[in-house]
Amino acid sequence: MSKHLLSKSTFIRSQQCQKSLYLHKKRPFLRDKLSAVQLAKFRRGTGVGVLARELFPGGIDMSPRSPSQYEQKRNETAEALSNHEINVLYEAVFQFDDVLIMLDILVRDGDNWVAYEVKSSRSLSETYMKDAALQHYVLNGCNVKLSDFVLVYINSDYVFNYELDLNQLFIKRSVLTESELQAETIGHQITLSKLTLELSNSPQLSIGIHCNKPYPCDFIGHCWKNIPSNSILHLTTFDEDLRFKLINQGINTIDDLPKEMIQNECQQLQIEALTINEITYNANKIKVYLNSINSTLKKQGSVSLKLLVHRPAVPFIYLTQPYQLLPLALSIRNNDTNATESISFTLDLKGLEDFSKIMNTIFNENNLVITDDTDIIMETLFNVQSILSASFSFSPESAKEQLIGIHQLINEGQVFHPVLRNDWNMNDTILALTGKNNSLKEEVYLINDLLKADGNEETARILQRLATYPQAIFQLFEKIQQLQNMK
Ligand code: SF4
């Protein structure tokens, strides 16, 4: 059998954009660097897949160690299927119509088989259904008689109770009928993708909303590189569909935009920022946000706080749920004395108790707590309260009145700058507001390093990097305060 042309992931890629498939296969060097967030998601997916195997223990792992083993593993899979002593296979390898798949779990069911595809998310998407339909198509082509095809995903209502109950953690949903119905379409789409791969140049496809849906494409850096800095595509205050519609009508730059299309002050401010290449903002809105802090509290102190959290797909602490935020470390700076302290928490009930004690001290002794993103603090406080019940001497709801978030200040204060794009990011915000390249280590890396840290010395080194955050947060806060006074 000849080498495959498509896999599960390249087929799914082709469904988003045929050009992306072509570039991935023929011009991989043009791909953007994998972001830290995407890398973390990928690793999480792999871990959940391995855990789900325990739903059907005792199987044989067919995972190829490298692409050179695909053929061998395909042959071993075929042999295993006809061996009636083998009932469960993990990562069984099949190829049909030039598409190679590795099925997460295959379980014998009398003379038939049940296929299981595991997803680490809490809901099923159209992409997952297509993924299942493709695998069903290949299995059918390989004459594997299926009595069912099941998607396995995470039950968001599951609560960990001393021992992991995989049958409660995972939800199983049969998609056999939907997959069968899509067989003909899948066949056509495979043919189309194979034709794309025969082209001598990449297909002439324009950029569009498909560049970010359902996933951000990793060739955006290449395809979008000639978009001018005054393109209307940068106007995130306008609906994305509308921006592409305008481009198709020949309205490419901000200068081309008819005045009557600008509907609010927010859009006007963003247009101004992109035109003059400087920061623009709404001083009144900044004032309103800052005044929402309860100044009647009889406390004096002000601290800057950076909290790192872990969001495990599979819960492991009593009463926690999938993807619930858990405190991992924090760094706190007294804004009057400049003293900074950083602490890491163990991922257990004691760690949650330590976190609640520190938060009690912080919120009881200070009037103002400045952080990068208040949503993270609030969600973590509510989570910890629900697990430990009545662990705080203040109500997490009232903590809102003491909290200021830089992210929220930027949004509420309608602060715009050409480097501030859709994704909130501390380094971009520092660059926009101060003109300096601060290069804080991205928090997703700090979290990853902390989770892997082997010993106190390594943890201390990571906490040192974390300690650079509170000062940066305070500098941004001061900068935004100055903006408010300048108008
Ligand atoms: S950036 Fe857009 S047009 Fe370019 S390959 Fe990706 S999805 Fe296709």
Report the separation in Å between the CA atom of 23 and the middle of ligand 1, taken as the mean of its atom positions: 9
Give residue-wise pLDDT tens across range 275-304. Answer: 999 999 999 999 999 888 765 555 678 999
For the Cβ of 217 lying below 6 angstroms from any atom of ligand 1, the answer is yes
pLDDT at 291: 86
- Concatenated DSSP letters of 289-356: HHHTS-TTSS--EEEEEEEEEE--SS--STT--TT--EEEEEEEEETTT--EEEEE--SSHHHHHHHH
Domains of the chain (ranges, CATH numbers): 6-198 (3.90.320), 227-277 (no CATH), 288-486 (3.30.420.10)
What gap in Å lies between CA 425 and CA 388, rounded to an integer?
A: 32
Residue closest via CA to ligand 1's atom 4 equals 223
Cβ partners under 8 Å of residue 109, min gap 6: 147, 148
pLDDT at 394: 80
Report the separation in Å between the CA atom of 190 and the middle of ligand 1, taken as the mean of its atom positions: 19
Beta bridge partners of residue 172, listed in sequence order? 152
pLDDT at 41: 63
**38-42, 244-248, 307-311: the lowest-pLDDT one:** 38-42
For the Cβ of 23 lying below 6 angstroms from any atom of ligand 1, the answer is yes
Report the separation in Å between the CA atom of 19 and the middle of ligand 1, taken as the mean of its atom positions: 6
Beta bridge partners of residue 161, listed in sequence order? 163
Q: Which tokens hold the place of 87?
A: 């009932």
Is the pLDDT at 10 greater than 60? The verdict is yes
pLDDT at 297: 54
Which of 16, 27, 202, 205 has the most ligand 1 atoms within 8 A of CB, as the residue to mutate? 205
Higher pLDDT, 472 or 392: 472
- Mean pLDDT computed over every residue of the chain: 92
> Mean of the pLDDT values across residues 308-323?
94
Is the pLDDT at 382 greater than 70? The verdict is yes
Is the pLDDT at 43 greater than 70? The verdict is no
Q: What percent of the chain has pLDDT over 70?
A: 96
pLDDT at 38: 65
What gap in Å lies between CA 372 and CA 353, rounded to an integer?
A: 23
Listed residue (141, 149, 209) closest to 173, CA to CA: 149
Is the pLDDT at 69 greater than 60? The verdict is yes
| Buried b or exposed e, range 122-146, using 16+ CB within 10 angstroms | beeeeebebbbbbbbbbbbebebeb
For the Cβ of 399 lying below 6 angstroms from any atom of ligand 1, the answer is no
Checking 378-386 for CB contacts under 8 A at 24+ apart, the result is 378/403, 379/325, 380/307, 380/309, 380/325, 380/326, 380/327, 380/355, 383/320, 383/324, 383/325, 383/326, 384/327, 384/352, 384/355, 384/356, 384/359, 385/356, 386/319
Beta bridge partners of residue 171, listed in sequence order? 153
The half-sphere exposure of 454 on its side-chain side, counting CA atoms within 13 A, is: 0
> Mean of the pLDDT values across residues 265-269?
95
Report the separation in Å between the CA atom of 228 and the middle of ligand 1, taken as the mean of its atom positions: 17
Is the pLDDT at 166 greater than 60? The verdict is yes
pLDDT at 436: 85
For the Cβ of 227 lying below 6 angstroms from any atom of ligand 1, the answer is no
Is the pLDDT at 311 greater than 80? The verdict is yes
Give residue-wise pLDDT tens across range 80-129. Answer: 999 999 999 999 999 999 999 999 999 999 999 999 999 999 999 999 99
Roughly what angle, to the nearest 10 degrees, separates helices 374-388 and 349-365?
120
> Mean of the pLDDT values across residues 145-152?
98
Total residues found in the chain within this entry: 487
For the Cβ of 205 lying below 6 angstroms from any atom of ligand 1, the answer is yes
Q: Where are the alpha helices (DSSP H) in 32-98?
A: 36-52, 70-81
pLDDT at 11: 98
Report the separation in Å between the CA atom of 333 and the middle of ligand 1, taken as the mean of its atom positions: 44
pLDDT at 425: 87
Sheet containing strand 403-405, edge to edge, reads 340-344, 326-334, 301-310, 366-371, 403-405
Is the pLDDT at 167 greater than 90? The verdict is yes
Report the amino acid identity of residue 378: M
- List of E strands, 54-98: 60-61, 88-96
Cβ partners under 8 Å of residue 49, min gap 6: 104, 118, 120
| Buried b or exposed e, range 204-221, using 16+ CB within 10 angstroms | eeebeebbeeeeebbbbe
In the numeric block, the tokens 């706190």 are attached to 332
Quote ipTM for the complex: 0.99
Question: What is the H or E stretch that residue 428 is in?
Answer: helix 426-434
pLDDT at 410: 94
pLDDT at 300: 74
The answer to whether 366 touches 303, Cβ cutoff 8 Å, is yes
Listed residue (139, 137, 129, 131) closest to 187, CA to CA: 137
In the numeric block, the tokens 């996933």 are attached to 215
pLDDT at 39: 64
Give residue-wise pLDDT tens across range 419-441. Answer: 887 778 899 999 999 888 878 99
